[in-house]
Structure formats: structure tokens, C-alpha cells
Amino acid sequence: MSAWALEGDLDADAIACSTTFELEWPPRSGRLRTFPEVDRAGWFALDAAREKLLSAQAPFVDRLAEAVC
């Protein structure tokens, strides 16, 4: 999972195209399948972002809050 922040207006719903990667799926099947790297995008308020991100990514939100407040 990745997180970005920006100031401006960007329509997250417009992110319809992604690069892909190959993965053996199901595991140990010998079959490679292609998956998109980005399956969805969204913008969230800081509190909502903290809930959605992995706990290890919370410092990103804290640094962002310090930078913009």
C-alpha cells in the first residue's frame, strides 16, 4: 500500500488505468495471472486516512498534519 498527499484538485475516480504485475495464482499452480498495481484510489481526511492505512504508515499522516497545519 502507498500513500500520497497533494494540495489541489485531483479526481481520484479518474484513475482508471494502472500498470500491471504478474503473480503465480493460485499459489504453486504454475499459472501466472496479471493484476493491476492500483485497484482503486481515494482522498481522505487525516483521521479517516489514519484508519485506512497500515499502522506503520501513521507517521506519514502525522508528518503531513504538522506540515499543513
Confidence of residue 2 (pLDDT cuts 50, 70, 90): low
Q: What is the pLDDT of residue 33?
A: 97
* 0.75 surpassed by pTM: no
Q: What is the pLDDT of residue 25?
A: 97
Q: What share of the chain is helix, strand, coil (3-state, %, to 5)?
A: 35, 15, 50
Angstrom distance (rounded) from CA 65 to CA 42: 18
Per residue in 10-44, pLDDT (tens digit) is 888 877 778 899 999 999 999 999 998 888 888 88
State the cell numbers at 66. 504538522
Q: What is the pLDDT of residue 22?
A: 97
**Residue 2: which of 39, 33, 34, 35 has the closest Cα?**
39
Looking from the CA of 7 toward its CB, the CA atoms found within 13 Å total 5
